[in-house]
Amino acid sequence: MTPEEVGERLVHLMATDDPEKGTVTAEVSGGGPGHARAVVDVPVARWWFAAEAARDAGALGCDFFDWLSAVDELDGGFSVIAHLWSTRRRHGVLLRTRVSREEPEVESLVDLYPGAAWHERETFEMFGITFARHPDLRPLLLPPEFEGHPLRKDFVLAARVAKPWPGAKEPGESEGGTSKRAPIRPPGVPDPNEWGPLKGQVAPPETPARPARGERPVRPPRQPRTEEETS
């Protein structure tokens, strides 16, 4: 089945006359031939049912769970995406739903795809999205004392504020240079003088004075060539 046919098939399977259940829509991702996928958007309340329909051998037969993650859409909440694959028919589908920032919760797919367990645990840890009915929703990668969700766009990376960024030098800088342009902070990282362990202790960067341009040396007038030089 082509990505277009996969998307149309799942939309047909999820069709309902009840407007309160929301609309299911489909599109095709980029990537070109062999890489494009059907992308099916479903309401969060129908997330589990869409995965069940995709797994059904009489429908799409997506028997393999590939991966699951999320995207922080800021005021739009979080997009949760799962990629399902059919090992027999060799086609896949990207299931996508949207959860609110105030109540980021979606149904777990572990009972349909046991391989989703670790993916949901990581997404819960990194984005703070709860997966209802997950049998063991606990931290997977971070230490127990860690606070916050690092993949949210409003999460401040303290290390970027507390110490200099260890990247390449600014253009034109050298080890022996006496002046240095103020480094540009990465997006979302606050001024270290306003947040962090050095709050109120960082002096504003000095603007180096531009050296005066010296006078150009006067070039002697060009002497005309003699007849011997031109012959």
Reference 99, options 123, 118, 121, 115; nearest CA is 123
Q: Residue 105, SS3?
A: strand
Task: Determine the average pLDDT of the residues in 210-219.
Answer: 62
Task: Read off φ and ψ for residue 13, nearest 5 degrees.
Answer: -65, -30
The answer as to whether 41 is a domain residue is yes
Label residue 97 by pLDDT band (50, 70, 90): very high
Label residue 225 by pLDDT band (50, 70, 90): confident
Label residue 76 by pLDDT band (50, 70, 90): very high
The answer as to whether 230 is a domain residue is no
Check whether 67 has a pLDDT greater than 90: yes
Task: Determine the average pLDDT of the residues in 15-39.
Answer: 90
The CATH number covering residue 7 comes to 3.30.460.80
Separation CA 26–CA 125 (nearest Å)? 29
E strands within the chain?
Answer: 25-28, 38-41, 64-72, 78-86, 91-99, 105-107, 130-132
The answer as to whether 97 is a domain residue is yes
Strand (E) or helix (H) holding 126: helix 116-127
Type of residue numbered 43 = P
User: What's the domain count of the chain?
Assistant: 1
Q: What is the CA radius of gyration of the chain?
A: 30
The answer as to whether 30 is a domain residue is yes
Integer angstrom CA distances of residue 94 from 6, 57, 59, 84, 226: 10, 17, 15, 6, 83
CA angle 176, 181, 182 (to 5 degrees): 125
Task: Read off φ and ψ for residue 178, nearest 5 degrees.
Answer: -95, -20
The answer as to whether 36 is a domain residue is yes
The answer as to whether 218 is a domain residue is no
pLDDT of residue 156: 78
pTM of the model: 0.71
The answer as to whether 163 is a domain residue is no
Q: 119 is in which domain, residue-wise? A: 3-132
Q: Residue 27, SS3?
A: strand
**Per-residue pLDDT tens digits for 189-207:** 677 777 666 677 777 665 5
**Per-residue pLDDT tens digits for 152-184:** 998 877 665 666 655 555 555 545 554 455 556
Q: Residue 67, SS3?
A: strand
The answer as to whether 174 is a domain residue is no
* % of the chain surpassing 90 pLDDT: 55
Which is more confidently placed, 18 or 58? 58
